[in-house]
């Protein structure tokens, strides 16, 4: 191994990556770690190192992801690793199921955290721009605190329970995991797409309320904040692939908490106006304008260029 890595490590890695498999036997712990570091440096790949003994600790720590197997040689490898399994056969489930879910859920949660914070900022920016860049805050006090905690926290964070495919499908079609290696779930394109959604929805909510419906400040706060909350809850519901009872509970609890806030915070809401049909007609109209184009665009994308998990789900349903 030193005869290959010392003179020209780059050529060694290039040749090794082109081979179907490479076996380096009888290597010292430092040599195992060296191979991992060379792969990360010259191949530009994310490396996962799997070991079951104390001589694999250096290799596990040098990799991007270390997986330790508890075996007859002790627990040194599992204690030094990022993940610990009891059998080598569990590695497939760790990667194809748990690893896939971790990536997809993290990507979706990150996108909604961005959307949740940006849309309310766009509403405030549009309001300030229309009213000559005044320093008046459209939402203040408990509304701002409640928006990021009580009203939207449960539905947004319940997305970590979502599953786009079941575990059996993930094992039957391992190409689902290969699709994730391209990083399309969380990339610059998806980030800009969610930024565009936030800008459109925030602008639509504020502009429609000002120019078409109402110019009373207290009524404006009530209408825009209610439409904002309903928009966020609808966006979460549209992104869910498989409903969990905790997701439903999160949506309902958020609505109940907001309904109670309308009564408990009269300084932010005109309760008499909120109970009128005119108020709800305006809120529903604004919410539809903000959500309907986004929903139609998402439906067209899934029909014209569906991702792999959608194609597989359709094929399984037909069978």
Residue 4's CB is within 10 A of a number of other CB atoms, namely: 15
Q: Which residue has the higher pLDDT, 6 or 30?
A: 30
pLDDT digits (tens, 9 = 90+) for 238-285: 888 888 899 999 999 999 999 998 888 888 888 888 888 988 999 999
Low-confidence winner among 22-26, 194-198, 242-246 (lowest mean pLDDT): 22-26
Which pair of tokens denotes residue 25? Answer: 């036997």
The pLDDT value given to residue 272: 87
Backbone angles phi, psi at 216, to 5 degrees: -80, 130
pLDDT digits (tens, 9 = 90+) for 83-133: 999 888 898 888 888 888 888 889 889 999 999 999 999 999 998 888 878
Q: Which residue has the higher pLDDT, 304 or 284?
A: 284
Closest CA to 91 of 63, 70, 108: 70
Contacts of 261-265 spanning 24+ positions with Cβ under 8 A = 261/142, 261/146, 261/150, 261/151, 265/142, 265/143
CB 108 within 8 A of CB 239: yes
Contacts of 78-84 spanning 24+ positions with Cβ under 8 A = 81/51
Range with top average pLDDT, 29-33, 132-136, 194-198, 262-266 = 194-198
Closest CA to 154 of 65, 288, 253, 71: 253
The pLDDT value given to residue 317: 62
pLDDT digits (tens, 9 = 90+) for 207-243: 988 877 656 788 888 899 999 999 999 999 988 888 8
The pLDDT value given to residue 198: 93
The pLDDT value given to residue 19: 83
pLDDT digits (tens, 9 = 90+) for 138-185: 888 888 888 988 899 999 999 889 888 888 888 888 778 777 777 778
Closest CA to 219 of 290, 177, 282, 261: 282
Mean of pLDDT values over 304-314? 75
Which pair of tokens denotes residue 132? Answer: 């000559």
Cα 100 from Cα 98, distance rounded (Å): 5
């Amino acid at each position: 191994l030193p005869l290959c890595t010392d003179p020209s490590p780059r050529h060694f890695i290039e040749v090794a990556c082109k081979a179907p498999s490479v076996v380096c036997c009888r290597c010292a712990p430092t040599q195992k770690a060296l191979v991992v570091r060379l792969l990360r440096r010259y191949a530009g790949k994310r490396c996962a190192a799997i070991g079951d003994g104390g001589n694999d600790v250096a290799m596990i720590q040098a990799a991007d992801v270390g997986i330790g197997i508890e075996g007859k040689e002790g627990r040194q490898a599992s204690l030094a690793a990022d993940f610990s399994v009891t059998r080598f056969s569990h590695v497939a489930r760790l990667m194809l199921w748990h690893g896939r879910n971790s990536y997809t859920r993290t990507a979706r949660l990150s996108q909604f955290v961005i959307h949740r914070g940006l849309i309310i900022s766009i509403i405030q920016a549009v309001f300030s721009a229309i009213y000559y860049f005044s320093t008046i805050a459209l939402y203040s006090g408990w509304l701002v605190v409640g928006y990021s905690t009580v009203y939207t926290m449960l539905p947004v964070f319940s997305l970590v329970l979502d599953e786009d495919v079941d575990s059996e499908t993930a094992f039957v079609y391992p190409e689902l995991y290969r699709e994730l290696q391209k990083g399309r779930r969380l990339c610059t394109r998806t980030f800009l797409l969610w930024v565009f959604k936030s800008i459109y929805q925030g602008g639509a909510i504020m502009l429609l309320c000002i120019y078409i419906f109402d110019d009373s400040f207290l009524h404006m706060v009530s209408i825009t904040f209610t439409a904002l909350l309903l928009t966020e809850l609808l966006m979460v519901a549209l992104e869910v692939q498989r409903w969990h009872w905790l997701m439903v509970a999160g949506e309902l609890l958020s609505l109940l908490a907001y309904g109670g806030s309308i009564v408990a915070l009269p300084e932010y809401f005109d309760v008499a106006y909120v109970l009128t049909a005119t108020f709800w007609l305006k809120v529903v109209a604004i919410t539809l304008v903000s959500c309907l184009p986004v929903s139609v665009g998402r439906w067209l994308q899934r029909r014209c260029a569906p991702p792999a998990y959608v194609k597989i789900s359709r094929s399984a349903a037909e069978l």
